[in-house]
Structure 1
Amino acid sequence: MASFKIAAAAALAAVSMAGAANAQEASRWFVHLGPAYVDPVESASMTAGGAPVAGANVSIDGRWTLEGEIGYFVTPNVAFAVAAGLPPKFNVDADGTLAALGRAGTMTGGPAGVLVQYHFNPEGRFQPYVGAGASFLIVFDTEDAALNDLEADSAIGTALQAGANFMVNDRWGGFVDVKKAYVGTIAKANLGPTPVRAKVKVDPLVFNAGLTYRF
């Protein structure tokens, strides 16, 4: 009878240890999901017919979207994450010496990122983190306005990130996050019969908040 009790206790301990290990393994993954505001910090240099256009610039308005991020902890403090959102449509207006043209066109797309993060307090309720990595400006579509035959290239740049999780329990919580991407695009179009080329720095700030889930 004593040997049966010892065996049962050992089995229970093994199951408990396995459950704890599985729970620890399961908590390596995390998801962030919530609304995000994409605020371009834009500037541009432009040529028309191959000649520089002095003082020409563009203005790109900010847009709300839904952003998600999924990550995996390779150590208790270090994680890899991929972030992307639903692509909003941005209005692109002529500015500077070309402001009289008004709406130059629209661009549908937005930033995405692949980041390495460091989490300072991964077992606590308050979990601040920072990250850095690659940013991607993905352009899905453009539409003409004052400019005709508008095209814009997708591009790769760099990104920085800072944020924090506020955990309610081991699985669920909330987060706030800000990312700064350094990325631009080359836009080509025609202004009447004149070919126009612009090198546009988009460099968006992305403010994001929502739900955290670890699994």
Structure 2
Amino acid sequence: MTAIRYALAGVAALALAGTAHAQDFRPKEKGLLMLNVRVTDVTSDANDPIKTAAGAATGLNVDVKNDVMPTIGLSYFLTDNVAVEVIAGTTKHEIKAKGPGVDVAVHDTWVLPPVVALQYHFAPAAKVSPYVGAGVNYMIFYSGKDKNGFTVDLDDGFGLALQAGVDVAVQGPWSANLDVKKVFFKTDANINNGALKSSVHLDPWVISAGFGYKF
């Protein structure tokens, strides 16, 4: 199991235990602010071909390693059921070129992908309250480090995000949170000043577990 799976299992167990003994909890409602602090696993689906500037195949593909980092989400409830959440965090990813007999690191980069999502919360007055959401993100690459003689330039840009999760009331303003997002984002990678290129569909899964506090 990955670290995030252990975190998800631990949060779920704590939430269920807390719910069983909770005497009171604060429901979701209009005007509420809710802060979620999470441990987040960001895993990219990238496997796009690397081509020459003329478009010829090189036999190599892009591989982006995953990362686990803390993230935060702040939600404001416009109604009892509808909320807007801003999600922020940053992760570091190693980019490799892989192919037959080739597995070489070409670049490390930090990524700041803030997401703004409009959510619908089912059963806001219940202890177990699932939700779904959709929104936009802006992918920002920074503090990149080229490796093994390669130079890599990545374009920032907008993407779309889908979200599903659940809040489980524990006690008072506290809750446990499980959250899954799928972000759809493509960046153009220029390698060695354009001698090589790739249209990289990062499309990461963003899987989180943590705790929330209602204000």
Query: Normalized against structure 1, the TM-score is what?
Result: 0.80
Partner AA of 1:88 in structure 2? T
**1:175 aligned residue:** 177
Q: Secondary structure at the match of 2:102?
A: helix
Q: Secondary structure at the match of 1:41?
A: coil
The 1:57/1:110 distance shift into structure 2, 3 A limit, reads farther
Greater CA radius of gyration, 1 or 2?
Answer: 1
The 1:24/1:174 distance shift into structure 2, 3 A limit, reads closer
Partner AA of 1:153 in structure 2? D
1:157-196 pair list within 5 angstroms: 157-190=159-192, 195-196=195-196
Q: Work out which of the residue numbers 104, 113, 116 in structure 1 matches 2:115.
A: 113
Is 2:93 the partner of 1:90? Answer: yes
Question: 2:29 & 2:131 partners in 1: Cα distance?
Answer: 20
Contact 1:67–1:83 (8 Å) recurs in 2 = yes
1:89-141 deviation per Cα after TM superposition (whole angstroms, max 9, x unaligned): 211111235x6251121121143211010000111111100001112222112
Contact 1:58–1:96 (8 Å) recurs in 2 = no
The 1:164/1:106 distance shift into structure 2, 3 A limit, reads same
Partner AA of 2:148 in structure 1? A
**1:10 aligned residue:** none
1:73-100 deviation per Cα after TM superposition (whole angstroms, max 9, x unaligned): 1111000111111x22211111235x62
Unpaired segments of 5 or more residues in structure 2? 1-26
How much identity, in percent, do the aligned residues show? 30
Question: 2:28 & 2:186 partners in 1: Cα distance?
Answer: 40
**2:202 aligned residue:** 202
Question: 1:203 & 1:36 partners in 2: Cα distance?
Answer: 15
The 1:24/1:51 distance shift into structure 2, 3 A limit, reads closer
1:110-149 pair list within 5 angstroms: 110-146=112-148, 148-149=150-151
> Whose helix proportion is higher, 1 or 2?
1
Alpha-carbon shift at residue 27 of structure 1 (Å)? 5.6
Contact 1:142–1:152 (8 Å) recurs in 2 = no
- The RMSD of aligned alpha carbons is 2.2
Aligned residues: 189
Unpaired segments of 5 or more residues in structure 1? 1-22
Name segments (4+ residues, structure 1) moved above 4 Å. 23-27
Contact 1:164–1:176 (8 Å) recurs in 2 = yes
Query: Normalized against structure 2, the TM-score is what?
Result: 0.80
1:31-64 deviation per Cα after TM superposition (whole angstroms, max 9, x unaligned): 1102111111112233323232254311111110
